[in-house]
């Protein structure tokens, strides 16, 4: 990695950290569990690195490592998003079976 690339990567890191702080401190405690599973699914983006490792055919070891990484990361992506959706669907303002009045 060149020094230039490092600096630009550090910029991205610093700005993402700042942005992350601002965005995430607005998430109410009510949604902290969905937040955790959502960020987990999102960081499953490491899948893109695993995909290249698994498919570049460099050597057998790398391919196997990449393959296992693809399995792990895609489990997180799919499982994380499905479960977050499932949780968020449960949060309702008023109960559906409320028969008051």
Residue 48 C-beta: closest distance to another protein, Å: 4
Decide if residue 60 touches another protein (CB under 8 A): no
Per-residue tokens: 8: 């630009």
Residue 97 C-beta: closest distance to another protein, Å: 7
Decide if residue 3 touches another protein (CB under 8 A): yes
What's the CA gap between 35 and 38, in Å, rounded?
5
What's the CA gap between 41 and 74, in Å, rounded?
9
Q: Name the 3-class secondary structure at 91.
A: coil
Site for another protein in 4-23 (CB under 8 A): 5-6, 9, 12-13, 16-17, 19-21, 23
């Amino acid at each position: 990695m060149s020094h230039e690339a490092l600096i630009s990567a550090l910029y991205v890191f610093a700005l993402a950290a700042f942005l992350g702080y601002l965005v995430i401190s607005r998430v109410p405690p009510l949604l902290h569990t969905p937040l955790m599973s959502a960020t987990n699914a999102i960081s499953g983006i490491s899948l893109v690195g695993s995909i290249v490792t698994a498919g570049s055919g460099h050597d057998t070891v790398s391919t196997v490592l990449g393959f296992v990484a693809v399995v792990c990361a895609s489990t997180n992506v799919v499982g994380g998003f499905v479960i977050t959706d499932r949780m968020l669907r449960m949060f309702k303002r008023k109960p559906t079976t409320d028969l008051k009045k």
